[in-house]
Amino acid sequence: MRVSGENLWPGELVTWSAGEVSAHADRLAAVYRAAFAAYGETDDDTAAFRHRSLPTHTGRDDFRCVVALDGDDLVGFGYGYQGAPGQYWTDRVADLAPPAVVRGWLGGHFEVVELAVLPECQGRGLGGALHDALLAGLPHPAALLSTWQYDTPARRLYLRRGWQPLAELPDATLMGTRLPLTGTARPA
């Protein structure tokens, strides 16, 4: 969902297939490294993202990846898939979140796995545009994600876009939003 006049970012958003993600995995990893270095992500974390997470995630049901291009330059991306029992994150949330949250939110949900924007491209509405494009038209009843427990630009973006904190996990806040998105989105 994009509300007219909200997107201050002039570049292009494109949906990539799992094959395109695999073909451009090094470019995605470079954006991941740059976006998350300020949050303590290391070269080993980037390698794990590139060589373990991406190949696993692209094979999941309802995988969707939206990328931001500025000319030929990849400057941001967001991706997710349908969460299900047997997946690490879904099982972890099921073990750690309150039972009412598990019953009310897990099952058939869309899991927002990553949303990353190059630091020099932040503050221009790109994160919000990626968020909205990633979640637009999904058939799932809800979307879930985990984010840092402290105040970050990403956490503020999710709150502005109508996400609600559902539970505090040992190292993250579980957040959820009902789908389809409604008019609650505001400028990033």
> pLDDT tens across 167-185, in order?
999 989 999 999 998 754 4
pLDDT of residue 40: 87
**Residue 39 buriedness (CB in 10 A; 0-12 / 13-18 / 19+):** exposed
Render pLDDT for 88-120 as a digit per residue (tens, 0 to 9). Answer: 999 999 999 999 999 999 999 999 999 999 999
Q: Which residue has the higher pLDDT, 147 or 40?
A: 147
CATH number of 12-178: 3.40.630.30
Q: Is 32 a catalytic residue?
A: no
Cα dihedral: 23, 29, 30, 33 (round 10): 180
32, 79, 81, 158: the catalytic one is: 158
pLDDT of residue 184: 47
How much is the mean pLDDT over the chain?
A: 91
- Rounded Cα distance between 165 and 83, Å, is 18
pTM value surpassing 0.85: yes
The type of residue at 22 is: S
Q: Quick check: helix, strand or coil at residue 171?
A: coil
Render pLDDT for 8-51 as a digit per residue (tens, 0 to 9). Answer: 567 789 999 999 999 999 999 999 999 999 888 999 999 999 99
Q: What is the mean pLDDT of residues 132-152?
A: 95
Tell me the backbone φ, ψ of residue 92, rounded to 5 degrees: -65, -45
Residue ranges per domain, the chain? 12-178
Tell me the backbone φ, ψ of residue 172, rounded to 5 degrees: -160, 165
